[in-house]
Amino acid sequence: MKKIFTFIILVLPVLSIAQKHTHAEIARYQKQAQAVTIIRDNYGTPHIYSKTDAGVVFGLMYTQCEENFRGIERNYLYQLGRQSEADGATPLYTDVQLQLIADSADAIKDYNNSTPSFKKLLDAFADGMNYYLYKHPEVKPMVFKKFKPWFPLMFTDGSVAATETGDITPKETQAFYGDAANTIGTVYSPQSIINTHEERETGSNGFAISPSRTASGHAMLYINPHVPFYFRSEVGLQSEEGLHAYGVVTWGQFFIYQGFNQNCGWMHTSSYADVGDMYAEKVQKKDGKWFYEYDGKLKPVTVKKLTMRVKKGDELVATDITAYYTHHGPVLAARDGKWLALKHYNRSYKALLESWLITKANTFAEYKKAMGLLANTSNNTVYADGQGNTAFWYGDFMPKRDPKINWALPVDGSTPATEWKDLHSLDEIVHVYNPSTGYIQNCNSSPFTSAGAASPDKTKYPLYMAPDDENYRGVNAVSLLKDAKNLTLDGLIAKGYDHYLRAFDDMLPGLFAAYNAAPDSVKTKLAEPIALLKAWDRRTAANSVASTVAIEWGSAMFRTMPPPLPGETSYIVKRLTELLQTITPESEVAMLSHAITGLQSRYGTWKVQWGDINRYQRPADGITFDDKLPSLPVGLTSSNFGQLPSFQSRVMPGTQKRYGFSGNSFIAAIEFGRFVKAKTIITGGHSFDASSPNFTDQAQGYIDGKFKDVLFYKGDVLQYAVQTYHP
């Protein structure tokens, strides 16, 4: 369908000088700084103290800037849809999508209308970062010369990429809205850190253990997000207004995303609950204007102007794009002659408020009250507290819809029958409270196996609430937890770091049968690797050749699985089962033969220990891996095979060995009681400075699952204080 687009091209200079700070601003910054104390411990972790919550936020943002200002700016360039101002046209249509979905004008309104107490936090957020820029003129922001207090209201979730686009790709948005990238002289091309489907890290693990299963008689929580390395910052926060929390903060945010306070803890995993829908709109043009059909009538399409600025050399090229909206939401693409409009709740004041209130909740009732804002669109929550409660919620924000409709596909936008109704209450969504089995696990797999026999009944919930199938991490977690008794913190960590690859329980029997039926010539060639796999305990290890052979062959098998269908999530067990039922024995054996040949070609022998090629290295520039530089052997692998810890690795440009880039990031085990006990580990180290002793001081513990003690109470922090200062 032909559409009319307006492109207005303006050329603006790229400003390279920092925006000046007024005398009043500087005085305000300095007054706040004197009210904040930062203590960095022997691992470089900052512990931030102030009388007020706002003071803690000010100090938190200052320390984040000290550590990774570039990461903060990158996150806000994404959230505000302004990456093109730093990177040129490559991410332009990602920016277009983001600006279509979330309007900064709405965030500014939310800021202006926020309560005085919450506005103080937003102001402190901006002041903390702006004070850092004032004190460090050598730091040259790519785009943001000054941070605004409404910015966090564009970034209301701590997930990896919480913005929902309804699976509409930037390419589709480009095809709909016209080739603005070519208009300004640069061709758009998709950009991704992760290149192939089998490398994509899609999960996290959260366990809650009831007092009946622990040695101490207190509840415990295990936190294991799987994200790109160095994605969050470990911190301790304490004010005299009731804030006393520890955990990780996503760069650029001021709440603990995953962690605990003195009374309760929370682990968020990515949710696949259906909380956003695409509406297929029937449109027509009359008298030069667009209309869409709804309830037997024509409604006018809302038209807005998006001004995109794209870096080209030393200039910013501004182009105006005519954007379209129906009452369902922004139009992101067109398929089969219909426009696709996205209905979602991608950003909101309530979502950010909920994230903050959770940090300060002290009881199960207070935590539920915070979640009762029903504003978190992308997270499941695993919970434990000092009163012995454990809980799990599959999602939070959940619109009521007609369960007879397939919401995984675009729905008819012309009828009121597809409209959302009210929201489901917190107790109506899929949940588990204090299960009789004494454990909860969520590994981004079906919530209907989350607590064994005490799991929710799948028949009582509509499909859109929990479309997940099973994955091998979930299967593995149940087998590890169902008989666990007298667990200690170290015992819980050991289970969370178990190296068992559950997928091979299903995969290897078929391979062995195929080998037995193979011609003698094939048997002779593969006799030794088959013998290794038969003797293998299906646990990865750095000194294991069988691990190398199995992972190479298993990865090849996974690559033959088709991509997921619309709405299909955590599908690996289902799809692998289908594959194993249909694949020919000859193909299974051929893939093993190819894996052996490939190893022989790359390394001169197929008998390669897994740790010899699977390495941890932290480049000084964060990008350039080098086989000639020091690295550490790693016995872990991808969680796709069912291993609970995750270490995603691949051959990097210019290397022969594989290097980790995603997976385990911040891992924590917490035991509640009169006093909180906790242990954590992070990827490599806290510092981003390669010359710092904290750059890789946690690397070996991270690889081996040997955690450090958390310094939660100030007396303990003072014993290990290395640096104490005001911002």
pLDDT in tens, 638-697: 999 999 999 999 999 999 999 999 999 999 999 999 999 999 999 999 999 999 999 999
Cα dihedral sign, 718-720-726-727: negative
Report d(CA 521, CA 544) in Å as an integer: 26
503-to-58, 298, 477, 484 alpha-carbon distances in Å: 47, 53, 13, 22
Identify the CA nearest to 84 among candidates 306, 314, 317: 317
Report d(CA 257, CA 255) in Å as an integer: 6
Report d(CA 488, CA 57) in Å as an integer: 34
Q: What is the pLDDT of residues 409-467, one digit of tens each?
A: 999 999 999 999 999 999 999 999 999 999 999 998 899 999 999 999 999 999 999 98
Distance of CA 416 to the CA centre of its chain: 34
Report d(CA 83, CA 89) in Å as an integer: 9
**pLDDT band per the 50, 70, 90 thresholds, residue 637:** very high
State in Å, rounded, how far the first CA of the chain is from the last one: 57
Contact by Cβ (8 Å): 229, 702: no
Contact by Cβ (8 Å): 668, 678: yes
**pLDDT band per the 50, 70, 90 thresholds, residue 278:** very high
Report d(CA 498, CA 479) in Å as an integer: 11
Of 50, 84, 204, 233, which is the active-site residue? Answer: 204
Contact by Cβ (8 Å): 259, 225: no
Residue 201 predicted with pLDDT over 70: no
Identify the CA nearest to 434 among candidates 454, 464, 460, 458: 454
pLDDT score for 564: 73
Contact by Cβ (8 Å): 41, 711: yes
595-to-187, 236, 522 alpha-carbon distances in Å: 38, 47, 14
Amino acid at 333: A
Report d(CA 59, CA 4) in Å as an integer: 49
Identify the CA nearest to 131 among candidates 182, 63, 67, 183: 63
Report d(CA 636, CA 551) in Å as an integer: 11
User: Between the CA atoms of 92, 93, 94 and 99, what dihedral angle is there, to the nearest 10 degrees?
Assistant: 90
Contact by Cβ (8 Å): 352, 152: yes
Lowest mean pLDDT among 187-201, 376-390, 448-462, 517-531: 187-201
Left (φ > 0), alpha (ψ -120 to 50) or beta: where does 235 sit?
beta
Contact by Cβ (8 Å): 117, 54: no
Q: What is the pLDDT of residues 303-346, one digit of tens each?
A: 999 999 999 999 999 999 999 999 999 999 999 999 999 999 99
The values of phi and psi at residue 267, to 5°, are -125, 125
Left (φ > 0), alpha (ψ -120 to 50) or beta: where does 176 sit?
alpha
Query: 502-537 burial by CB neighbour count: b if 16+ within 10 A, else e?
Result: bbbebbbebbeebbeebeeebeebbeebbebbeebe
Question: Per the structure block, which two tokens stand in for 723?
Answer: 């640096």
Query: 291-314 burial by CB neighbour count: b if 16+ within 10 A, else e?
Result: bbbbeeeeeebeeeebebbbbbee
- Residue positions in the annotated binding site? 274, 277
Report d(CA 28, CA 188) in Å as an integer: 44
Question: Per the structure block, which two tokens stand in for 694?
Answer: 């904290």
pLDDT score for 7: 38
- Residue positions in the annotated binding site for Ca(2+)? 274, 277
Is 216 a catalytic site residue? no
Residue 197 predicted with pLDDT over 90: no
Contact by Cβ (8 Å): 696, 248: no
Task: Look at 202 and 21; give whichever has higher pLDDT.
Answer: 21
724-to-42, 362, 570 alpha-carbon distances in Å: 12, 29, 46
**pLDDT band per the 50, 70, 90 thresholds, residue 574:** confident
Q: How many CA atoms lie within 13 A of 416 on its CB side?
A: 4
**Going along 597-720, which residue ranges are E strands?**
614-616, 632-633, 647-651, 658-664, 666-671, 677-682, 708-709
Identify the CA nearest to 560 among candidates 581, 579, 582: 579
**pLDDT band per the 50, 70, 90 thresholds, residue 571:** confident
